[in-house]
Amino acid sequence: MDAPELDCLTRQGAADARAGKISIGNSFSKVSEQLAYQGGYENPHAEFKRWLGGHLNAQSEATKIEYRHREDRALAVMSVVGPVWDGIKNKTSQLQGLQESRWRKIEGVAFILGAVIGGLRLGSYSVDIGRGLMLIGAISFGYYAFNLREARWHIVHLERQQELFLLEWLASGASEYHFHKFKLLHFRSVEHSEKISDSDEWRAKNIQLEHSQTRLRLDVRRALLERIGVNLPFEDFDEE
């Protein structure tokens, strides 16, 4: 992925993020401006959001424009980096499975056994059987080697994309710490979504993840404001 492709992708990601199209398959289960808190209570992060909004509104128009530009870049990365992380995880698991496969030993045994049978010439068909076993072993090993090479190539390619997205993230002014925290939350969300159930425990975990995702986004906003020189007083907004 070169610079023009990355720019196009992040622009689309920013548009999707603004339109609320970020999905569990991309990044978060959902990244909304406000979460509907159970029981009619106020969003536990509403105070933090109002605090940030108040400081942003107090800035000059030029500062607001720069902030929104930086936020768009960060949101764009959030909306498109998830599949890259999923791809790295899946291909790494595939590579590990290939390296640990028992077929490697079977392929070697088949090839050696075929060579022995063909060499001993035990019967009229021994040479053909031996060559057949050698051919099966060679083809099987070749297929294994091809899949191994493909998995490694995909991992390198996806890791390069991850590096480009990290550079885009850092260029927005967001921190590497939040990038890796976002990655952790993404995998937790994906894992949770794969265990869909109608239990109270599952719903409670889903709400917890949504609150963690919203808190991360607000923390990123706070960091972006500080990055552009807004002097924010210390205020601790503990997660509930």
DSSP secondary structure, 60-91, as one string: -HHHHHHHHHHHHHHHHHHHHSHHHHHHHHHH
Q: Is residue 121 part of a domain?
A: yes
Instruction: Kindly report the length of the chain.
Output: 240
Whether residue 41 lies inside any domain: the answer is: no
- Over residues 96-124, the pLDDT tens digits come to 888 777 766 676 666 666 666 666 666 56
pLDDT above 80 for 195? yes
Q: Are residues 128 and 185 in the same domain?
A: no
- N-term to C-term CA, the chain: 40
Reported pTM: 0.70
Looking at the domain assignment, is residue 126 inside a domain? yes
The residue to which tokens 């992925």 are assigned? 1
- Rounded-to-10 torsion of CA 104, 108, 111, 115: 180
Q: Across residues 28-51, what is the average pLDDT?
A: 56
Note whether residue 5 is domain-resident: no
The stretches of the chain forming alpha helices (DSSP H) are 3-18, 46-57, 61-80, 82-99, 103-120, 126-172, 176-193, 200-227
DSSP states of 187-217: HHHHHHHTT----HHHHHHHHHHHHHHHHHH
Residue 183 lies in a domain: yes
Domain that holds residue 210: 49-80+173-240
Evaluate whether residue 43 is within a structural domain: no
Q: Are residues 154 and 180 in the same domain?
A: no
Q: Are residues 177 and 160 in the same domain?
A: no
Residue showing tokens 């990244």: 31
User: Does 44 map to a domain?
Assistant: no
Q: Which of 13-17, 28-32, 39-43, 115-119 has the lowest mean pLDDT?
A: 28-32
As a whole-number percent, the residues of the chain with pLDDT over 70 amount to 67
The domain boundary, picked from 147, 164, 181, lies at 164
Percentage above 90 pLDDT, the chain: 35
Q: Does residue 232 belong to any structural domain of this protein? A: yes
**Tokens at 190, concatenated:** 């994906």
